[in-house]
Amino acid sequence: MIMNTISISKIVKLFSNYLVEHKKNSLIAIGITIFVALISGFYYDSESYFTGLAIFLFFMLMNLASSIYSPLKNSRSKISYLMIPASTLEKSIANLFTVHIFQIVTLFCATLIGLFLGNGIGYLLDPYADIISFIPHHSPLTFSAVFSIFNGDMFLFLILFQSIMVFGSILFKRSAFIKTMGSLILFFIIIIIIGVIMSVTLLVNLINADVNTFALESSMIDILLKNDGVIEIVGVTYYLITLFAFWVMSFFKLRETEV
């Protein structure tokens, strides 16, 4: 049903429906995350190992986001999902909350649990361990390390790619994760090729340019590089606009499917 109203109760029901429909996948993701974090916590020696854990969490969250519209991949579940008495906007809002808040918070908590368990097991197996000092010593390290994974830049990067995976979920329906990741890899390859061509062209132009033009362009580049705040604002704005664009495309693709 396509309506232009927004009902909080319907959004809550949609979220509850997600929990029921995706219960198995969510529990598997939580279990795997706890296990991987436990292994990481057991072999904890420095914060450098969190790079691997961060990459794992990134792909796990991408996989969960790519399954948000999985009910649309077969006829029976597709009809059931589309016949839910809620508007396209309400479904989109419920999915936005699910992807950007519920999934991230859930795996964040699972990571903390796994790290604490891993740290605890490793600490208890140490014959020189002082159990009294375990929690005050390891808690700040664990929290700071996990929060470093979900820092500002990483969080923006994460939710941007989640929005892309959501769009891929409704665009491809079947094997959405593989197809969307493949499309992203192809896109980045094209971007790299364009970047190389533009860099070579710029270099050739600079070589052929006169001294005054070269000095002017060099000074403009220096000014741009020194204004870190401007670059950061432009980057964040780009992230947010792109994020919004992919959710808007997902909204209209869902509405098209309903029609």
pLDDT of residue 31: 93
The pLDDT of residue 32 is 93
Mean pLDDT confidence for 231-256 = 82
- State the pLDDT at residue 223: 53
Considering the entire predicted model, what is its pTM?
0.76
By the 8 A CB rule, do 173 and 256 touch? no
Whether residue 247 contacts residue 96, with contact meaning beta carbons closer than 8 Å, is answered with yes
**How far apart, in whole angstroms, are the C-alpha atoms of residue 160 and residue 157?**
5
pLDDT number for residue 127: 56
Asked whether 176 and 168 are in contact (CB, 8 A), the reply is: yes
- Confirm if 118 and 42 have CB atoms less than 8 A apart: yes
Q: What is the pLDDT of residues 161-181, one digit of tens each?
A: 899 999 888 888 778 788 888
pLDDT the model gives residue 27: 92
What is the pLDDT confidence band of residue 102, given thresholds at 50, 70 and 90? Answer: very high
Cα 26 to chain centroid distance, Å, stands at 16
Shortest CA distance to 34 belongs to which of 99, 96, 121, 100? 121
Token duo for residue 103? 């999934």
Q: Which amino acid is at 16?
A: S
